[in-house]
Amino acid sequence: MRALRLLLILASPALAVEEEIREDVRLPPGPLRLDRPLRVVADGITVDLGEAVLMGAADGTDPDKFEGIGILVDGRKRVTIKGGKLKGFRCAILARDCEDLVLEGIDVSGNFAQRLKSTPEREDGSDWLWPHENDEQQWRKNYGAGICLEKCFRATVRDCTGKNQQNGLLLDRCEAAKVYDNDFSFNSGWGIALWRSCENLISRNKCDWCVRGYSHGIYDRGQDSAGILVFEQCSRNAFVRNSATHSGDGFFLYAGHETTQRTGEGGSNDNWVWENDFSHAVANAIEATFSCGNRFISNRCNDSNYGIWAGYSYQCAIRKNRLHDNSVAGIAIEHGSRNRIEGNDFARNPRGIWLWWDDDKDLLAGPFGRKQGCDSKSYWISGNRFDGDGTALLLERTSDWQEASNECHDVEHELVSDRPGRRGEIRFNWSVRPPDLPDWILKEGDRTGRRDPFLPEGHPRGRRHIVVGEWGPLDPTKPGVHPTTGGPTYRVLGADDYEVALPDGFKAEKDGSLFRVAAGEGLHEFKGEVRIGDARFPFKGRLFNAKWTIRHWKWERDPREEGAWAALMETNPLAAVERDRLEEVWGAGGPKDVAADRFATRAETKVTLPKGFYEITTTSDDGVRVLVDGKVVQEDWTWHGPTEHKAQIALDAGEHEIVVEHFEIDGYAVLRLDLAPLDCIK
């Protein structure tokens, strides 16, 4: 009778009271709105969600408004939950202090996500995640999850799906869990995240496109998003045959603040990371820091900024990995020691292996530095292949290194080192050579997991396929159109063959999956559609086209000093160009014929406008000043990252002169301006 009463209550549009599940039950199919969580309060039972859809919020509610828990399991043993879908919650399933819990075949997609403030044109620093604190469940409370397990022992999570939200699965102080054959892709935070969790097996999961903080060719920060996150004293875990491509970091391991800021000891140690694909990461395919004894074996770490970044790591083995086409280095380790790097395949990296010591005063003086020493020393480098790399081995302020049997083909420099070492033979003085994988992982791996998680042949690959929208990453295989950088420029997703329809007077300039809307001089609004087969995808935008004259100078005297800018403008520019739009995105470089950093720009135009109120929007890094008819209407004459500014002005009918002044100090550089009538501002 208890189960029957529960089913009758669940059949109602919404649950007005908290309900308890005490025996085996199968829920009725269809949508069921929950005002409070369903609580499992008995051991040894099965909750079959079947084709039920448990909803925490009405369809159409913004994901950052989602609250509450869908199913709560507290202190129970041998509970199985399977099937069904949960969406619209802050946390769809929360289990605490459970033993032998099984979650199987559940779809926990479409739960909480933060609205991202970063745009294709500029990064917003408030989007950065903070994974460094979670002892009071900050991850779940602040960022939500499809599934969160806290202090659970021997849990199994298999064949579950958690996509299009912020986080897929959180393991908080869990032990001996098996997580396999799940799909936690296309999330804006983390696919799978571990906190103080040990001896877990994470195998054959898809965690692709877990990313934020990226705009292709504009900024590539990642903002601490990751396919797999391993934080704060997570040891003796195995990560086997997972796919975590196109993420902020593919795999992000950190010892934790307990190690770096309090004790100087411990860490996320003795983990096995084997046969995963972490390629196309925004920052690092693998990042692993302040920890020891980790094994990174036979992973794919291609097309990222760094293939493997392992700062302050020691007694680690990096073997048989593939590290191709990374923009900075294949393997980079600062302040590391007693690490073995052998049998890896490097290709077309500016630096193959880069090891160094630098004067990192705060860290060296902190608990970890005082306890561990942090010299860069004692490396064994053997049997690696370098093909087309810039410098195969770059060793800076690194001592007691040994290298042998490395192959170099078409590299610029085989070895650059400022400290002597041993070449041609290897003498080990720590631990025996580790096996590829310990027996227990091989045994479990043979019977745990059936899915091939890796991207199939022909699937879109490469960082150019990372497109982040307001709520997170977009699936490049699903047809659609998305605004990107450079004014009225759009990216077409999910199709190579498409048509663009625009009103008379406008045209689309196509470049592969990108197209730019062009028109004559003036202020224009437009609506169009992208046609992919029989599907239609509308888009709209606006254009401000004018004849801009843009001049560039190099400066030695800081433009912020009194009189410096006026004096610089009295000199001849180094370069000048004509453009129909002011949208200069230099990135880490600078204008043509003008070196990066320490340059100045002055852009001028005249435009005829009707009487009205207008809004001027600029994006700048660094200082910017806008003058209209000789009057300063916007100014931020400071050193700053990419920043958007807006100014509203009233103009009489007629011709108006607009002048934009800009200086760049160092690092990233951008200068963009848009003008729109206020009745066009949405």
What pLDDT, on a 0 to 100 scale, did the predictor assign at position 8?
40
What pLDDT, on a 0 to 100 scale, did the predictor assign at position 443?
65
What pLDDT, on a 0 to 100 scale, did the predictor assign at position 379?
95
What pLDDT, on a 0 to 100 scale, did the predictor assign at position 391?
98
Question: What dihedral do alpha carbons 157, 158, 161, 165 form, nearest 10°?
Answer: 20
What pLDDT, on a 0 to 100 scale, did the predictor assign at position 218?
79
147 class by beta-carbon count within 10 Å (0-12 exposed, 13-18 middle, 19+ buried): buried
CA–CA separation, 335 and 397 (whole Å): 10
**How many C-beta neighbours within 10 Å does residue 270 have?**
17
What pLDDT, on a 0 to 100 scale, did the predictor assign at position 1?
34
What pLDDT, on a 0 to 100 scale, did the predictor assign at position 372?
82
Question: What's the mean pLDDT in 135-155?
Answer: 98
Strands 480-483 and 489-493, how do they pair? antiparallel
pLDDT tens figures, 52-67: 999 999 999 999 999 9
Does 430 score more than 80 pLDDT?
Answer: no
What pLDDT, on a 0 to 100 scale, did the predictor assign at position 446?
55
Does 7 score more than 60 pLDDT?
Answer: no
Question: What's the mean pLDDT in 291-311?
Answer: 97
Higher pLDDT, 121 or 48: 48
What does the mean pLDDT of the chain come to?
A: 91
Residue 477 pLDDT grade (very low, low, confident, very high; cuts 50, 70, 90)? very high
CA–CA separation, 138 and 134 (whole Å): 5
Block residue for tokens 């769809």: 92
Give start and end residues of each alpha helix (H) in 366-469. 367-372, 439-447
Residues 579, 544 contacting (CB under 8 angstroms):
no
Domain 546-680 has CATH 2.60.120.1560: yes
Tell me the percentage of the chain whose pLDDT exceeds 90.
76
What the block records as the tokens of 581 is 């739009």
Residue from 231, 169, 670, 241 nearest 446 by CA: 241
What pLDDT, on a 0 to 100 scale, did the predictor assign at position 111?
98
What pLDDT, on a 0 to 100 scale, did the predictor assign at position 586?
86
CA–CA separation, 581 and 605 (whole Å): 10
- Does the pTM surpass 0.75? The reply is yes
What the block records as the tokens of 594 is 């003008």
Strands 190-195 and 178-180, how do they pair? unpaired
DSSP state of 222: G
pLDDT tens figures, 203-230: 999 999 999 999 987 789 999 999 999 9
Residues 631, 657 contacting (CB under 8 angstroms):
no
Residue 11 pLDDT grade (very low, low, confident, very high; cuts 50, 70, 90)? very low
Does 598 score more than 90 pLDDT?
Answer: yes
Residue 2 pLDDT grade (very low, low, confident, very high; cuts 50, 70, 90)? very low
What pLDDT, on a 0 to 100 scale, did the predictor assign at position 3?
45
